[in-house]
A and B are shown apart, each in its own frame.
Chain A
Amino acid sequence: MINVLNEDRKDALTEIMNISYGMATAIISDSIEAHANLHVPKIHVVGTEGLENYVNSKTSKTKNYYVSVQVFINKLDGESIFIIDNESAGKVADIFMSDNDETIEDEEDIISSIHELSNILTSACVGKIAELLELEVFFHPPAVDKQSGEKIAEYKNFENFSKIIVVETVLDFRQEEINGLLIFLLKESSFDHLLIALDKYIEQYEI
């Protein structure tokens, strides 16, 4: 994997994502009225050509996944893809939907929960970057699909995007670990905007 960010920028991006995840954690904890913890995410920025291999390395062919795609437009233009395996998705639904400890099995409830979680994560991360850039960003609602592990890395129309940011997400809740993969696909211009934002953030930090 070729990392396209220098260390400073990568640190800055990790920091921003950390803040964003903190906010997302706060929202989730608040929502479920219980403590939840989102680990400090591992972040990779890669070119489009490396995505398939990377996703394949992080997923299993034998599992089934939920994939939530959310488009954001305006000056920050791109797509977020949130990948979560069946088991973790079920746990998310238990957190969001269940009033007691019972397990949620209704698929629509699971999809609805993934829809909500991915919206929170995308809005938190992209919203934070937009805030730093003092840009307006407009979100489309997420779209959730089911996908088998075999086909999880098959994407078309990559040519519209230039850079991809991958955020590995781990959510701890009630001693249960929920694993997810959040991927941001950014268009060239948007990536430029991101770099500006990162530089701006580094600048603030230096002061």
Chain B
Amino acid sequence: MKFETDPSYFLDSIYNGACILDDELTVHFWNKWLEAHTSLFREQVTGKKITDFFPEINVKQLKRKIRSMKALRSHTYYDAGTDGWLFKIKSAKFTNSLFEYMKQNVVISPFDKELKYALVMIYDQTRLFETQKKLEESESFQRAVFGRSASGIVILNTDKSILITNESFRKMTGLDENELKGIDFEKFLCDEHIEVCRDCFGRLFSGQRDSVTEEVKIQTPGGRNFWSRIAGSVIFDQDGKAEYVVCVMDDITERKNFLIELEKKSEYVQKILDFQSNIIIVTDGELLLNCNKSFLDFFQSKSLEDFKSKKKELSDYFMKEQGLVTGDDEQGWLEEVFQNFRMGVDSKVKMRDPFGAVRTFQVSFRVLPMTAGEYIVSLTDITDLENYHKILRDANRILEIIVNERTEELRKTNRMLESSRQQLEQAQQIARIGSWEWTGGDNKLDCSDELYRIFGVDKAEVILSQKNFFDMIAPEDINLLQTMSSEETIAKGTFDEYIHINRIDGEKRILRIQSRVKKDASENLHILGTAHDITEIKRTEAALRQNEQLLSFIFDFASFGICLVDQKGCFVRFNKKFSQILSIPEKILKNSNFFDIFPEADREKAPHTTEWKHNADNGKTLDLLVTAGAVKMDDEKLHFIYSIADITEKNRIERIHREQEQMLIQQSKLAALGEMIGAIAHQWKQPLNSASLYVQLIEDDYDFNELTKEKLSEYVIEIMNQLNFMAHTVEDFRTFFTPSKTLGEFSVKKALDDVTALMKSSLEKHRINVNITAEGNDPDSVVLFGYASEFKQVMVNLLSNARDAIDSKRASMPPLERKNVGNIDLIITETDTEVIIETKDDGGGIPEDALKRIFESYFTTKGDEGTGIGLYMSRMIIENRMKGSIAASNSGKGAVFTMRFPREYI
């Protein structure tokens, strides 16, 4: 069979990469496998340099390999292990692939006889390398386990010579790896264990056992001996032939020593138990596990087994009496012991020994540590103790009866004593009197509880003695107190003085010390005394005195007259002012009757204030402001208090004031009238002029015979027009100045418009521009409450003042600059709480010293031209009639008048 020569015929069907390259690395063929793995198509690659697609290729190396191949006429290779890849191709998509690029073995072979082309075959080795890597990891893990194991591990050849050891084994033996290698393992064993070891190896090699474990004694060449547990197993080769022996060794010397020690201890404990006279047994509640010698002696047994062979259960020996552990119920006798323990009752048993004697035992138990439900039970022989108890109990009972009788008697006496003591204590406490007793013979001071309280000392902390008693006495009183033991006092027999003390808590107190002083038969001083705490009484007295002084002072200091009279009108007390106001000397007044002096006085009890006109004895009539009321004194009698103030002068001034105000209002009205007349005069000037011209024209026309009916009618109409205008003007002014009849809301904006309209001609004449602006709400909706005409009057005043100020400012300026001034701003501002109206001019402002007085009546800055009424009246209207406020200030340019009207009054 002859095959096609077309390379694709074969190379496309193989599961490897294959390409054909020439010496210059130009691609002549590219098989399907490479197409699939590189996503480069044959047409794309053929005729191009391979390095165009795989720039990472080491060109020199590849060319060398191709040349070598040609020279040798044999294969050359790339090895996946070292070179990794020739064509950098992403490894096929395996999950968790360890390699990013395909590991490739590459074989370069001659393709044609002429050796023009090289066949490059690519073999994917990725899976192989992944497996290899995992194997390496697994091996390294096992190596680590082997190396770091705490147990010594040694691998032996079948002749028991050491092949490999781990670190732990080397530490155990104290030899390094090289020293250990090849040594016969038996050399580490003690002579007595060599046979055991050989036996074990025999069993392992013969396949009788998979593994063996023995405890053997190891001796190292360094002379160290230790016990070791060795677990050995054999590794067989594929044919079942033993290849290696693996031994795992642990140093168990400590454990071994511990066990030996434990065994010794155990014997020791048994000896101790045997030495005890108590019967001691170990039981799980049913079976007896151990016992001591006393137990065996009691039952006359040689051993526990001997005892068990006679009678199986211990409870079979128990006597069945009430109150004793009998072991009759199902749970067994130990359970009865537990129950008694839980209820706090002693457990007792009675047993008859083999000689017939009955003995009583107290049973106690403990859980045996480190066991599962085993108890150590002790039976203490209390037979003798029980008998003694009984005798003692009888003797006790008799004694108890006698003692009880005596105790009852004593208790009664005690109760009475206690009751008396308490009564005395309470009495002292109520009276704040403490008692004490000092006996000179033994220098002893006894104090009652109340005395401790008075001295502020806690009986539990300090016991009052003569020393600390004296320590608390105020220094100035010590001498006085010491006189208590003076010969004079002893002769008198009593002592009664006031003493000050300074208590430990810092409080000062006054005590009245009363005592009886006497000497006993052996000339020793004996003092019995009381101490009465009168501090509060003294303090109250002092406070009362002080109050009385204060009241008298206030009474006399008062600028009005005060008097206290009884129901009949007799003076109990009055102050100096009272007699001064009435111009009646105090001596005469004392004997007078209040109601005679003031027949108009009522006798109303509730406090009230009224005004009386009183004709004094000197003929003067007094205006008196009287405040009166009644008060009940300690003796339940009603007394009247009257205070009188002379307000005659005050009333007179007020009257004058009212008259002045009246006059001012009158003047203000006249000023307003003047203003009006001025305005009317100004308004009338023009129409009057016109009318007089027409009248002259009538005469001229008539003189020149030109007066026709038509012309006359025309002139009359014109004159009537002028007259009508004048009549309107008067009507307008009249309406403006007529006081509003109605009190109510009015629009601020409209009022301001009315004022500026009225003053229009005057303002224009003075070339003054008035701007009305509003901030906040729609200006037309801003309203005030009051008489609109009064508000307008205020605004006329403010605008007139502004106009005058601007005029005088202009007068002081160079003529060309005068036009720069002449603005008045009226600003309406409405907030949530108030309406504010500001008038700002540029007339230079108000002099600082005048600012404070500007709203006073008759105060003016205009000299003779001002009346001093305008702003005073304005303030009256704003404050009294509209409940608002007005204030004046200066801005940079001129004066600012600010009026504020709180919302609550709007």
Contact = CB atoms under 8 A, between A and B. Distances in A.
Interface in B217-233: none
Interface stretch (A80-88, A118-126, A159-167): A118-126
Contact of B76 (A111, A116, A144): A116
A30 B71 contact: yes
Contacts of B61: 96-97
A31 interface: yes
Interface string B62-99: 00110110011111110101111000000000000000
A127 B67 contact: no
A27 B71 CA distance: 7
A31 B67 contact: yes
A144 B79 contact: yes
A76 to B, nearest CB: 12
A112 interface: yes
Nearest to A33: B60
B65 A116 contact: yes
A141 B79 contact: yes
A55 to B, nearest CB: 22
B65 A124 contact: no
Interface string A110-144: 01100110011001100100000000000101101
A120 B105 contact: no
B77 A31 contact: no
Given A141-B105, A141-B107, A142-B77, A26 B82 contact: no
A97 B295 CA distance: 96
B64 A31 contact: yes
A27 B84 CA distance: 24
Interface in A5-63: 23, 26-27, 30-32
Interface string B747-770: 000000000000000000000000
A123 B74 contact: yes
B68 to A, nearest CB: 5
Contacts of A123: 68, 72, 74-76
B interface, how many residues as a size bin? 20 to 34
Contacts of B73: 127
A108 interface: yes
Nearest to A120: B68
A82 B861 CA distance: 132
A130 B124 CA distance: 30
A107 to B, nearest CB: 8
Contacts, number: 64
B77 A27 contact: no
Nearest to B69: A123
Contact of A112 (B60, B75, B79, B105): B79
A17 to B, nearest CB: 15
Interface string A160-200: 00000000000000000000000000000000000000000
What DSSP secondary structure best describes chain A's contact surface?
helix
Interface string A91-109: 0000011010000000011
B329 to A, nearest CB: 81
Contacts of A108: 82-84
A139 B74 contact: yes
Given A120-B72, A123-B72, A127-B72, A115 B79 contact: yes
B71 A23 contact: yes
A87 to B, nearest CB: 19
A31 B72 contact: no
A127 B81 CA distance: 25
Contacts of B60: 99
Contacts of A27: 67-68, 71-72
A68 B79 CA distance: 12
A92 to B, nearest CB: 13
B71 to A, nearest CB: 5
Interface in A140-164: 141-142, 144
Contact of B82 (A32, A119, A144): A144
Contacts of A139: 74-75
B82 A115 contact: yes
B72 A115 contact: no
Contact of A111 (B64, B67, B77, B82): B82
A139 B75 CA distance: 7
- Residue among B65, B67, B75, B82 with most chain A CB within 10 A: B82
A97 B58 CA distance: 9
Nearest to B76: A119
Contacts of A30: 64, 67, 71
Nearest to A23: B71
Contacts of B76: 116, 119-120, 123
- Residue among B61, B74, B76, B107 with most chain A CB within 10 A: B74
Contacts of A26: 71
A127 B79 contact: no
A119 B77 contact: yes
Contacts of A23: 71-72
Contacts of B84: 108
Contacts of B83: 108, 112
Contacts of B74: 123, 127, 139
Contacts of A97: 61
B82 A112 contact: yes
A139 B71 CA distance: 15
B71 A111 contact: no
A144 B82 CA distance: 9
A34 B75 CA distance: 23
Contacts of A124: 72
B132 to A, nearest CB: 13
Contacts of A109: 82
Contacts of B81: 111, 144
Nearest to B60: A99
A122 to B, nearest CB: 9
A41 to B, nearest CB: 17
B59 to A, nearest CB: 11
Nearest to B79: A115
Interface string B274-298: 0000000000000000000000000
Contacts of A119: 68, 75-77
Contact of A31 (B68, B75, B79, B105): B68
A201 B90 CA distance: 51
A95 B68 CA distance: 15
Nearest to A109: B82
A112 B60 CA distance: 14
B23 to A, nearest CB: 12
21 contacts: A31-B64, A31-B68, A108-B82, A108-B83, A109-B82, A111-B81, A111-B82, A112-B83, A115-B77, A116-B76, A116-B77, A119-B68, A120-B68, A120-B72, A123-B68, A123-B76, A124-B72, A139-B74, A141-B105, A144-B81, A144-B82
Given A96-B64, A111-B82, 11 more contacts: A30-B67, A31-B64, A31-B67, A31-B68, A111-B79, A112-B79, A115-B82, A116-B68, A116-B76, A139-B75, A144-B82
Q: 5 nearest interchain CB pairs?
A: A31-B64, A123-B74, A123-B72, A112-B82, A111-B82
Interface of B: 60-61, 64-65, 67-68, 71-77, 79, 81-84, 105, 107
